[in-house]
Chains A and B, each alone.
Chain A
């Protein structure tokens, strides 16, 4: 199969066939390509063993400020000697005429015995036809030259003098074709292109990775027979806490754990009967003065359980499978493992046959569908469920057990006052935790940074 070339490569090869040794600059001129295209083209050809790049260092010489001055007006010592050709001159006059070059001119002329000084007069002794350095100065001044074209000794003198000569070291590339390339036909009439070459990266518009996880979880619950309900993120304390048997002096209800809305209270929190029965349950079991104003305080929901319990209290179904998905809030310091706002899934099963083993079975099924098979259950405590369990799942990547969903059966102290007569299985947990496992993240904040680099590049199907 004949080799296929990129347009850039073709142009370079063709140019080198005409003119076998070239620099990138001459290639630019002959091919009309941009410097960057030349650079890439040469690199590709080199990798394919078609081009030879010979790098060499050379130095060129040019005149500095003092060098230019001397090139135009003569070396300082030449100018001094010229002033003396018509007889001795006064030192002070010479100093005035020559200015700052007087010092170096005097020093050199005296050292070489071209002049003599008597009291305040300077007398010429001899005037050489060519002074050291003069020839080199002329050579360099007439055009940049490479170092090896110059008389070394003559140059050394000049190099010692300040700002006379500038030495530029340059790397030059000489590009030529290898033998195999010289005989290669690059005209390519087949229409083939270089299918092996790199192509530019595209940025795909896509769903947020966390939303992908949420969609996946939603779908699992729907296929398990659950229906989705919605509810508000702002809730009265009544539904977020009181209806869930969390006493009004419970630490979770303090400002330091829960976000209370500044100056916002609910006007209507429930039916008269709901309020009476819930408050009676608190007074009887927790023994304190229940305060309706505490229950009116609006909070950012700390769990989605308030949505499901409200739904149950309203509809009182005998048999149902329901779930709710959404943001919940905790007043915490934001860190790699804590957010103030995150997503939670909450599911419930109500029915006369609902029992603890079913509850565990649903969890096991859910975890299986998100690819987690090693799970165990531990007892735990929640104010509104009894019995209460938590799932521990084994994470192979981290090599340890981590806590995922909490679950339990709603306490009679929760269900009875709201007129719910059948047992209710309930569970819930954070979605970001599951998504972190899925995407291998160690910092939960990544989900909300909207870092385009990450959003554009992470792998969608994991």
Chain B
């Protein structure tokens, strides 16, 4: 989740008369997790569903609401203008079909504000923009551009001076040589045509979604901005624009609209929407008994406008709050405005009778029997490695189940049995006193249209006198005392076990497991200096009783 650094003094200026302490104590109640804090700054993590919290301007609007300094909805004031136009050519439809944008004038951009805008742009790209795939933003110096603009396609030979470069580069060079080109060039696929925004003097403004032109770069001297958002879906592009527009207005800019036309494109509306919610849904869901005026006051603290029509609360939701899908989201807004700290937890008497799963009970009983027989319980991950599961124990790895792109080499393969993990555990304890006796009950996995999951018990005993008789006695006793089951053992050959010291475990004429002395080469390879005996049985199919 994205993290933003907030400067206390800037935030205090934006919010109004509040102390540092009040700010740091209130941020969590906006849903912001405090990461760290010092004298001047506080770092918070915000959820990607609230992209307006990607700048301190957005967070300040939220805090003003909680403190009651300013409440109610944030209305975008967009001046109607016919001065700014973008025409779209149909050739773009198959590549990145939509463009939208807004003009923001007469703002002051200092270093801090520039930093906030860049941070916001980056977070929006990563989050709702899905790494620029869905939508991406370009912010430009308006005064360097002459309207009308054309959003069209061009070839990969098209040249211009991109941001952070001093010379002209072709589109191909930008994709192969610049950092953003390398990161995002793949979004354009193999298409020979790429998106481009060109101004009326044929100057390149932007090459979405990769990079802006150097000439329109925003600096601390910039007063007026042109913001464009391009994307593969019109609504998503306008959602993103609504966040930028709201933040720029809060930062002191005045907004003017852009007329957009051609190839199914149109001017952005950035309209508020109305949504109503039944006050009884609010009270039932929250377990409160709030009257309509308290509900409305709470919504206003969450920076929404609301009025009541009988039992219904009608909310006005600004365009940038596209995280609000339906009435339940408004219930949460009421909860936040009311203040989570003001909720008194209650416990309603249980109408139900609790029950431990019968399988859990049986497994716990089996565990107790194993402990009674002198075995210590071990726990290993079900996600292990080829080395431990197959290579070190000579097992056939044909039906291996791997995960993709694991960050940990020790966790790449789902186990199909438990005992190889236990032998590996012995190898980590060779300096500890013997006898070492361990068991583990747990899930194992097999490919079976597509997968099966079963519960196994594995047991091992390692000490200088360990032998087949000892471990067969353990097996026999555990199953007899645990489940009233009699088993047989029939000679078998298994690559993990010593020849002539290995048997299949038979119950009701079915093989349910394997028992024997571990092959001495395996034991040697693990540098274990005593004999190791063990068994593993499947519990799922014939032993555990589901009720």
Query: Which residues of A come within 8 Å of B, CB atoms?
Result: 203, 205-208, 210-211, 215, 218-219, 221-230, 232-234, 249, 251, 255-256, 259-262, 264-267, 285, 287-288, 298, 300, 319-321, 327, 329, 331-334, 339-341, 351, 353, 355-358, 360-365, 376-381, 386-389, 403, 409, 411-413, 423, 447-453, 455-456
Q: What residues on B are CB-neighbors of A229 within 8 Å?
A: 357
Q: What residues on A are CB-neighbors of B376 within 8 Å?
A: 203, 205-206, 452, 455-456
Candidates A230, A232, A456; contact of B359 at CB < 8 Å: A230
Stretch from B24-32, B192-200, B311-319, B388-396 contacting the other chain: B24-32
List the B residue with the shortest CB-CB distance to A381.
Answer: B47
Q: What residues on B are CB-neighbors of A210 within 8 Å?
A: 379
Q: How far is the CB of B333 from chain A (nearest CB, A)?
A: 9
Q: What residues on B are CB-neighbors of A320 within 8 Å?
A: 352
CA–CA, A411 and B345, complex, Å: 21
Give 6 A-B contacts (CB < 8 Å), ordered by A residue. Answer: A228-B355, A331-B406, A341-B381, A376-B341, A388-B332, A448-B379
B451 in the interface, Cβ–Cβ < 8 Å? Answer: yes
Q: How far is the CB of B85 from chain A (nearest CB, A)?
A: 27
B450 near A379 (CB under 8 angstroms)?
A: no
Query: Which residues of B (432-447) have their CB < 8 Å from a CB of A?
Result: 432-433, 436-438, 443, 445, 447
B381 near A360 (CB under 8 angstroms)?
A: no
A218 near B383 (CB under 8 angstroms)?
A: no
Query: Which residues of B (406-452) have their CB < 8 Å from a CB of A?
Result: 406-408, 410-411, 414, 425, 428-429, 432-433, 436-438, 443, 445, 447, 449-451
A262 near B335 (CB under 8 angstroms)?
A: no
A381 near B49 (CB under 8 angstroms)?
A: yes
Q: What residues on B are CB-neighbors of A327 within 8 Å?
A: 382, 443
B473 in the interface, Cβ–Cβ < 8 Å? Answer: no
Candidates A208, A357, A413, A455; contact of B326 at CB < 8 Å: A413
Candidates A264, A362, A450; contact of B380 at CB < 8 Å: A450
List the A residue with the shortest CB-CB distance to B325.
Answer: A285
On chain B, the number of residues with a Cβ less than 8 Å from chain A's Cβ atoms is: 89
* 9 interchain residue pairs of minimum CB distance: A225-B350, A355-B287, A357-B287, A381-B47, A360-B345, A387-B332, A222-B354, A361-B347, A228-B357
CA–CA, A162 and B328, complex, Å: 99
List the B residue with the shortest CB-CB distance to A408.
Answer: B332
Q: What residues on B are CB-neighbors of A251 within 8 Å?
A: 48
B236 in the interface, Cβ–Cβ < 8 Å? Answer: yes
Q: What residues on A are CB-neighbors of B190 within 8 Å?
A: none
Q: What residues on B are CB-neighbors of A449 within 8 Å?
A: 428
List the A residue with the shortest CB-CB distance to B334.
Answer: A387
CA–CA, A412 and B18, complex, Å: 38
Q: How far is the CB of A403 from chain B (nearest CB, A)?
A: 8
List the A residue with the shortest CB-CB distance to B404.
Answer: A260
Q: What residues on A are CB-neighbors of B445 within 8 Å?
A: 233-234
A300 near B383 (CB under 8 angstroms)?
A: yes
Q: A229-B357, A261-B402, A450-B425 are in contact. List 9 more A-B contacts (CB 8 A).
A: A226-B354, A259-B404, A264-B451, A340-B381, A356-B335, A378-B28, A379-B332, A448-B379, A456-B376
B336 near A228 (CB under 8 angstroms)?
A: no
Q: What residues on A are CB-neighbors of B371 within 8 Å?
A: 205-207
B374 in the interface, Cβ–Cβ < 8 Å? Answer: yes
B351 near A413 (CB under 8 angstroms)?
A: no
Q: How far is the CB of A67 from chain B (nearest CB, A)?
A: 45
B331 near A287 (CB under 8 angstroms)?
A: no
CA–CA, A300 and B344, complex, Å: 37
Candidates A207, A255, A358; contact of B347 at CB < 8 Å: A358
B375 in the interface, Cβ–Cβ < 8 Å? Answer: yes
B285 in the interface, Cβ–Cβ < 8 Å? Answer: yes
CA–CA, A380 and B44, complex, Å: 13
Contact with A along B356-376 (1 / 0, CB 8 A): 110110001001001111111
B343 near A262 (CB under 8 angstroms)?
A: no
Candidates A205, A215, A261, A267; contact of B437 at CB < 8 Å: A205
List the B residue with the shortest CB-CB distance to A330.
Answer: B407
Q: What residues on B are CB-neighbors of A386 within 8 Å?
A: 328-329, 331-332
CA–CA, A340 and B411, complex, Å: 8
A233 near B453 (CB under 8 angstroms)?
A: yes
A357 near B447 (CB under 8 angstroms)?
A: no
Q: What residues on A are CB-neighbors of B29 within 8 Å?
A: 378-379
Candidates B31, B373, B382, B428; contact of A451 at CB < 8 Å: B428
Candidates B329, B346, B352, B411; contact of A227 at CB < 8 Å: B352
By secondary structure, the A interface counts as mixed
Q: What residues on A are CB-neighbors of B346 within 8 Å?
A: 357-358, 360-361
Q: What residues on A are CB-neighbors of B411 within 8 Å?
A: 334, 340-341
B40 in the interface, Cβ–Cβ < 8 Å? Answer: no
B348 in the interface, Cβ–Cβ < 8 Å? Answer: yes
Q: What residues on B are CB-neighbors of A381 within 8 Å?
A: 31, 47, 49-50
Q: What residues on A are CB-neighbors of B401 within 8 Å?
A: 261-262, 264
Candidates A207, A222, A379; contact of B335 at CB < 8 Å: A379
B408 near A340 (CB under 8 angstroms)?
A: yes
CA–CA, A302 and B450, complex, Å: 19
Candidates A249, A262, A353, A455; contact of B404 at CB < 8 Å: A262
A447 near B285 (CB under 8 angstroms)?
A: no
Q: What residues on B are CB-neighbors of A365 within 8 Å?
A: 347
Q: What residues on A are CB-neighbors of B166 within 8 Å?
A: none
Q: What residues on A are CB-neighbors of B233 within 8 Å?
A: 287-288
B354 near A321 (CB under 8 angstroms)?
A: yes
Candidates B286, B374, B429, B449; contact of A452 at CB < 8 Å: B429
Q: What residues on B are CB-neighbors of A380 within 8 Å?
A: 31, 33, 47
Q: What residues on B are CB-neighbors of A215 within 8 Å?
A: 364
List the B residue with the shortest CB-CB distance to A234.
Answer: B451
CA–CA, A381 and B364, complex, Å: 36
Q: How far is the CB of A447 from chain B (nearest CB, A)?
A: 7
Candidates B50, B284, B357, B428; contact of A450 at CB < 8 Å: B428
A356 near B357 (CB under 8 angstroms)?
A: no
B547 in the interface, Cβ–Cβ < 8 Å? Answer: no
B351 near A351 (CB under 8 angstroms)?
A: yes
List the A residue with the shortest CB-CB distance to B353.
Answer: A225
Query: Which residues of B (222-266) have their CB < 8 Å from a CB of A?
Result: 233, 235-236
A378 near B340 (CB under 8 angstroms)?
A: yes
Candidates A256, A266, A358; contact of B348 at CB < 8 Å: A358
Q: How far is the CB of A63 from chain B (nearest CB, A)?
A: 43
Question: Knowing A331-B405, A340-B408, A379-B30 touch, does A355 contact B284 (C-beta < 8 A)?
Answer: yes
CA–CA, A182 and B288, complex, Å: 86
B331 near A357 (CB under 8 angstroms)?
A: no
A447 near B379 (CB under 8 angstroms)?
A: yes
Question: Knowing A203-B433, A211-B377, A340-B381 touch, does A412 contact B326 (C-beta < 8 A)?
Answer: yes
List the A residue with the shortest CB-CB distance to B424.
Answer: A450
Q: How far is the CB of A417 from chain B (nearest CB, A)?
A: 13
Q: What residues on B are CB-neighbors of A203 within 8 Å?
A: 376, 433
Q: What residues on B are CB-neighbors of A219 within 8 Å?
A: 356
Question: Knowing A207-B367, A379-B336 touch, does A225 contact B351 (C-beta < 8 A)?
Answer: yes
B134 in the interface, Cβ–Cβ < 8 Å? Answer: yes
A377 near B340 (CB under 8 angstroms)?
A: yes
Q: What residues on A are CB-neighbors of B325 within 8 Å?
A: 285, 411, 413
List the B residue with the shortest CB-CB distance to A362.
Answer: B347
CA–CA, A451 and B426, complex, Å: 9
CA–CA, A12 and B360, complex, Å: 58
B31 near A379 (CB under 8 angstroms)?
A: yes
Q: How far is the CB of B322 from chain A (nearest CB, A)?
A: 10
A267 near B340 (CB under 8 angstroms)?
A: no
B182 in the interface, Cβ–Cβ < 8 Å? Answer: no
Q: How far is the CB of B335 from chain A (nearest CB, A)?
A: 5
A232 near B335 (CB under 8 angstroms)?
A: no
A448 near B381 (CB under 8 angstroms)?
A: yes
B432 near A453 (CB under 8 angstroms)?
A: yes
List the A residue with the shortest CB-CB distance to B442.
Answer: A327
B114 in the interface, Cβ–Cβ < 8 Å? Answer: no
